[in-house]
Structure 1
Amino acid sequence: MKFTNYLLAFLLISIGFQNPSFSQTYGKNGMVVSDHYLASEVGVEILKKGGNAVDATVATAFALAVTHPEAGNIGGGGFIVLMKSDGEVTTFDFREKAPLGASPSMFLDENGKIKDNSNHSGLLSVGVPGTVAGLYQAHQKYGKLPWKDLVNPAIKLAKKGFPMSWGLYRAATRLAGGNESWDIMRDYFRGADGEIVAPGELWKQAALAKTLQEIRDHGRDGFYKGKVAEEIESYMKANGGIITKADLERYEAVERRPVKSTFNDFEIFSMPPPSSGGVALIEMMNLMEAADISKVEFNSTAYVHLVAEAMRRAFADRAEFLGDPDFNPEMPVDKLISKEFAKARFKTLDLTKASKSDSSRYGQLYGGDHTTHFSVVDKDGNAISMTYTLENSYGVKMGSSKLGFIFNNEMGDFNPIPGVTTSTGLIGSDPNLVAPEKRMLSSMTPTIVAKDGKPYLVIGSPGGRTIINTVFQTVLNVLVYDMRIDRAIEAMKIHHQWLPDQITYERNLLSPDTRKALEQMGHTLRPTTNLGVLMGITYDAALGVYVGAADSSSEDGAARAY
């Protein structure tokens, strides 16, 4: 009888059984955790067919471009952190670029003010998309299965449709009657009868399916050359945009070395610039090590204060120093992620009162919002943490109906007014000013933590600038407070970004007594509903299984395994 029970348990784990009492999923042979259950299932099917983590990542990403259009995309960009089974780690940077016609003052009026929110609204806010190039480059170097086999599942979802969810329906009713400039959104969610597809009914995207077929048949060139590129240029010219076929043809993804550090017995690997996430994460983890955070009780006043002060310092350094490395070769990345720098930073931290953020001095005193993330592991121990984005939810909410996808509004991540930094959070430092073909600074923080040379935690999140801090706290929760992955994801989070000088906290998760104590220390607090939508995987060495969880704030998110 005992043997039968053990056998049943093993079989349940092997097929990715999810205990209905908890929000964790277990799998022996691989796992995908993403913002949509269908995309996770697509990725797992690729693993079952003999594909590796890179293959599953490509298939999942294209599937999310169909099922999770508020952030899943082929009209945006992002980053991949890949840890191979031999322990080697590399990254792929497919962040959007400024068009050739861009300039530092392109968003300003004659008075030097931002004109009509043009860095966030309208086609001037669109960066040259990178997603297709990044996925193709990663596949060409490390993939196993044929490219067409990885794009076909997304084409099938777009052509045959998938059930409209309540979350998508809610967005559809809001966006269909929105701003007149949101051209593609008016009919985006409508069926053949002209009505918005109702929950439970199949939503089909014929135009997107045709675009994906071009990408399937011609790889990278199916997007950056040929019919798709011609239509992008035509659409841009007709509607006030400046992206041309030359911009698209010149775009290239870049493979870069990760930023890395240690924390106790763990190795941390994350994304280097033009993402600021990896540098800031490691800077804060080093400061936590210097502070011996393990002696501080989770969620206590001392914990929140210490974590907020670490965030304040990392974001000040982010604002002063970080940008596109191809335009800023002298960035002091090695210094910022060094243990010595963290020890010096810790000496400036008063454990009894809040520091003050000074908009005129950056870090010297101390020495958009929607994206999607998914995590993948395969049976051989290859792991990928991938975050990609359109910037705001549904990006710029514009696009050609002939192509069926939405463009990003990532140009808003550049510093819009040269030299102007304010206490409200506007940054004007040189490293992240607009320049032709420059990549805008990002907060995306795809991260892999290793133990004994093997993936131990694969994690990431959407959330604009809050990404860095939600990933940081989740890593702390797992490594320091030994939380299981679902609880680490759901635990209370805060956010401080130097300017504005305030702690944002999740309403109902921070006690009133703690809030009062923090205010007495000089902190200003602001409530919010939720911080982050984390997708994570850990490895349980005792059981020899992967354990995954999707953030409960993702209505359609799911971990799938086999």
Structure 2
Amino acid sequence: MSMLRIFVALVVAFGVLTSVTRADTKDPIIVYDTQFHPTIARNGMVVSQETYASKAGREILEQGGNAVDAAVATGFALAVTHPQAGNLGGGGFMMIYLKEEDRAIALDYREMAPAAAHRDMFLDENGDVDKKRVRFTLKASGVPGTVMGLTEALAKYGTLPLDVVMAPAIRLADEGFPMTWALYESLGRYAGRLQADPESAKNYYKADGSLYEAGELFRQPDLAATLKAIAANGAAGFYEGPVADKLIAAMQAQGGIMTHEDLRKYHAVEREPLVGTYRGFKVVTMPPPSSGGVHVVQMLNVLEGWDLKALGHNSAAYIHRLTETMKYAYADRSKYLGDPDYFDVPVGALTDKAYAASIRGKIKLDQATPSTAIAPAQSLPEESNDTTHFSVMDKAGNMVANTYTLNFTYGNGRSVPGAGFLLNNEMDDFSAKPGVPNAFGLLGGEANSIEPGKRPLSSMTPTFLFKDGEPLMATGSPGGSTIITVVLQAILNVMEFDMNVQTAISVPRIHHQWYPDRLYLEPGHSIDTRRILGQMGHQVKTEATEAWDSVLGSAQSLMRTTSGMILGAADPRRPGSYAAGF
């Protein structure tokens, strides 16, 4: 385990490291103690996984922009300052809430499979999944959606011109920014993969292959040129013209299958948000092709039948109920979730409270059920699927919760020559072969098989909470397969245990995803709790794995008080996370 992972694990286990904005100076104060210090603002707040990106969003709020303007500014800035997951070459989901209209919008800008994609494209001559081809080649790249998603959100729901909103990101790429410690550490950790690609090596390392030290000026002129093209021409500056030519030239030179026609046909989709209820709260979240929203609502429906508060937060009895509920949800995910444009996802049935009651009735309260004894539901009730997240609120009560990704950290590690951005490896999020787990250990079936134009299933779960009809919380997280359970616990901590936003996202988390049959506990859970869970039959694990780090997610979250104050909480699990308000 790296020193970074050890440090973050200790933060979660023994205290909280938060970045607090002092109202009179806006200078960050780094606080090392065991107290929680959410940032407080009245006019607007942005919380993201990277300091400069949060400040970019705040800059737009200070210019009179609304939450959508600030979110788009933050999204483009993260492509510059957090290339691990911030991107132009990936895709994601944006939840938007417009207070004046009391309306929520679910914007799906997930990547799409190229027209030449086919069901068995990642199988070798023996019919087995070729993991290298599905993860580290240009065939692994879906058609990017981020630029279309961000520009469309701004055009429909923003208030400022695109060039104004993109100005902070262009400045950060063109003039540069001091290399952050978090990016320095990450580039060191992934140097082997990134430096194997000449263009990525050029973009992120010095000419001799060495790292930019923390504090050294880091400029990205090729990326700046691409951003300027988008600022001048909108989405056409990316999907057409010189940038598109460079992307397709890379595809043709390196065995990819994406074409100019694929880029021209890309489109974002507005979908009807998924709405659930829990003890008087309203949960508004992302519908398929996100699996996260469906299963958050499904699990809340199951958990609502128990008095969780009486059990005590993170007690063995509480964790047992969470774990068993998670198993059933992830089992259903493997069969029933996919792109709703290609597969009839039974959303209503999966989120039906009667179905939840049937699951609750199967759960033994004193004993773990092995994953081998749990299968996707045979039938459902009749109806009557490394990332980064940021949240934004403005003084009017508008909210944005945005999660987007390249899939792996730095995607497939390959950059478009002369364009300065990395490509995704999202084709691995399809079921390359039904029943074979992806890189995060998730199983899938025919609902998520590869088809031309289809969007792969995702765990990304941007989510809003409402209480008494008023906006309360915006949240979401990175973390691959763990995203769904991270978001579930963040909102449960608020709804069930009355935690403030910083406490809600800082306390230790758990995760189970049906297969593998492993209950993962973050540092901070007591040895007695672990022992009791083991005695109940849970396969308790605490060490880091290939699929997730020693901590679970990074839930950058905001909460609005009844007096209109905005509380921002930067998750202490990821260095550099920052809440910027004014």
Q: 1:182 to 1:194 in 2, by over 3 A?
A: closer
- Matched to 2:420, the amino acid is G
Find the partner of 2:181 among 166, 177, 184. 166
Partner of residue 535, structure 1: 556
Shift of 1:284: 0.8
Q: 2: distance between equivalents of 1:217 and 1:13? A: 35
Matches within 5 A, 1:391-402: 391-402=407-418
* Percentage of identical aligned residues: 45
The answer on 1:517 being equivalent to 2:532 is yes
Instruction: Find the counterpart in structure 1 of residue 6 from structure 2.
Output: none
Aligned 8 A contact 1:373 1:534 in 2: yes
**Is structure 2 residue 72 aligned with structure 1 residue 58?**
yes
Query: Does structure 1 residue 94 correspond to structure 2 residue 115?
Result: no
Pair 1:40–1:525, CA change in 2 (3 A): same
Unaligned runs of 5+ in 1: 1-10
Counterpart for residue 284 of structure 1: 299
Q: Residue 15 of structure 1 contacts residue 561 of structure 1 at CA under 8 Å; is this kept in 2?
A: no
CA contact (8 A) 1:214 1:222 kept: yes
Residue 80 and residue 169 in structure 1: after superposition, are their counterparts in 2 closer, same or farther (change >3 A)? same
Report the counterpart of residue 479 of structure 2 in structure 1: 463
In the alignment, does 2:231 pair up with 1:216? yes
Given the alignment of the two structures, is residue 336 of structure 1 paired with residue 350 of structure 2, yes or no? yes
Distance in structure 2 (CA, Å) of the matches to 1:263 and 1:284: 10
* Partner of residue 261, structure 1: 276
Give the distance between the partners of 1:434 and 1:470, measured in 2 at CA: 28
Alpha-carbon distance between aligned partners in 2 of 1:399 and 1:496, rounded to the nearest angstrom: 34
Matched with 1:4 is: none
Aligned residues: 546
C-alpha contact (below 8 Å) 2:334/2:442 kept by paired residues:
no
Computed over aligned residues only, the root mean square deviation of the Cα atoms, in angstroms, reads 2.1
Q: Do the aligned partners of 1:534 and 1:551 also contact (CA within 8 Å) in 2?
A: yes
Match status 1:84 vs 2:84: no
Q: Which amino acid in structure 2 is aligned with residue 157 of structure 1?
A: L
Residue 160 of structure 2 corresponds to which residue in structure 1?
Answer: 145
Residue deviations 1:375-412, cap 9 Å, x none?
00011100010000011111100012301011111111
SS in 2 for 1:377: strand
In 1, distance between residues paired with 2:453 and 2:417? 26
Q: TM-score, normalised to structure 2's length? A: 0.90
Amino acid at match of 1:244: T
Q: CA 1:13–1:312 in structure 2 vs 1: closer, same or farther (change >3 Å)?
A: same
Q: CA deviation at 1:194?
A: 6.6
Contact 1:191 / 1:204 at 8 angstroms: preserved in 2? no
Task: Check whether the contact 2:36–2:503 (CA below 8 A) recurs between aligned residues.
Answer: no
- 1:324 aligns to what? 339
Give the alignment partner of residue 574 of structure 2, picking from 554, 557, 561.
554
Once the two structures are superposed, residues 203-225 of structure 1 have per-residue CA deviations (whole angstroms, 9 ceiling, x without a partner) of 00000000001111110111111
Counterpart for residue 206 of structure 1: 221
1:477-492 equivalent positions in 2, closer than 5 A: 477-492=493-508
Contact 2:350–2:380 under 8 Å retained in 1: no
Q: Residues 493-540 of structure 1, C-alpha deviation per residue, up to 9 Å, x if partnerless?
A: 111111111111113x12111111111111111113200111011112
Q: Which runs of 5+ in 2 are unaligned?
A: 1-20, 545-549
Q: Secondary structure at the match of 2:270?
A: strand
Aligned counterpart for 2:402 among listed residues 386, 390, 393: 386
Residues 272, 228 of structure 1: CA spacing in aligned structure 2 closer, same or farther, 3 A cutoff?
same
Q: TM-score, normalised by structure 1?
A: 0.93
Any idea what SS the aligned residue of 1:128 has?
coil
Please list, as runs of the form range in 1=range in 2, the aligned pairs for 1:289-304 lying within 5 A after superposition. Answer: 289-304=304-319
CA–CA distance in 2 between the matches of 1:532 and 1:406?
A: 22
Q: Which residue of 2 is the match for residue 6 of structure 1? A: none
**Aligned partners of 2:194, 2:68: CA distance in 1, in Å?**
38
Checking the alignment, whether the CA contact within 8 Å between 1:176 and 1:187 is kept in structure 2 is no
Matched, 1:40 2:42: no
> Do the aligned partners of 1:16 and 1:25 also contact (CA within 8 Å) in 2?
no
Equivalent residue of 1:465, what SS?
A: helix
Deviation for aligned residue 1:362:
2.6
Measured in 2, the distance between the counterparts of 1:365 and 1:283 equals 15
Change (3 A) 1:340 1:14: farther
The 1:16/1:26 distance shift into structure 2, 3 A limit, reads: farther
- Distance change >3 Å, CA 196–CA 105, structure 1 → 2: same
